[in-house]
Amino acid sequence: MERWNQYYKLKSLPRSGWLRKNINQPETVAAHSWGLALLCMEYGPQIDGLSMRRVLELALVHDLPEVTVGDITPHDGVSLKEKHRLERTAAQTILSESMLAIWQEYDEHQTLESQFVHTMDKIDMAIQATIYATEDDTEEFLNSAWQKIPSQWQWIWIDLQLPTM
């Protein structure tokens, strides 16, 4: 039960980028993971050779280490290398063996499924940025997301009618 108590902290952990922008009632990390999973369910079946089961596992597990290290953003003064080290240590500490294997696949970014989930992660952020644009300027989030969308999946951005960059 202890491990599950930790996992469930994602339900109340607000996303740091939205806090930095002073968004009123920002989404939580768990809400982000839910949105990501929903996007994956919608667009994943349109990608040849993708295991939907694995995609959904990756989407649900990808941010679990944040219950320990927090939602580290590029504005936090933590190098990308250090962020990965912190998250890897947290994952090895709190995740079950099966969840750790899923998280490592996501982190290594080598499989088609993990690459797709990484892309959907950025698209989820772009959708949220569009929603929050009425509260603050969120263009930096849209630009950041767009720059990380591989060309073969840019059609999803266009299908969602996200602002073109």
Domain boundaries, the chain: 2-159
pLDDT of residue 1: 83
Interatomic CA distance for residues 130 and 5, integer angstroms: 32
**What pLDDT score was predicted for residue 164?**
82
pLDDT category of residue 60 using cuts at 50, 70 and 90:
very high
pLDDT, tens only, 1-42: 888 999 999 999 999 999 999 999 999 999 999 999 999 999
The total of other beta-carbon atoms located within 10 Å of residue 155's CB is 12
Dist CA 99 CA 79 (whole Å): 25
Q: Give the model's pLDDT for residue 64.
A: 97
Q: In the prediction, which pLDDT does 70 show?
A: 92
**Sorting pLDDT into bands at 50, 70 and 90, what band is 114?**
very high
pLDDT at 41: 98
Q: Model pTM?
A: 0.95
How far from 15 is each of 4, 55, 124, CA to CA, in Å? Answer: 20, 22, 12
In this structure, the chain runs to a length of 165
Query: How crowded is residue 73: how many other Cβ atoms within 10 Å of its Cβ?
Result: 15
20: left (phi over 0), alpha (psi -120 to 50) or beta: alpha
- Report d(CA 44, CA 129) in Å as an integer: 22
CATH superfamily of 2-159: Hypothetical protein af1432 (1.10.3210.10)
Mean pLDDT estimate for the chain: 96
Q: How far is residue 138 from each of residues 20, 59, 109, measured CA to CA in Å?
A: 11, 24, 26
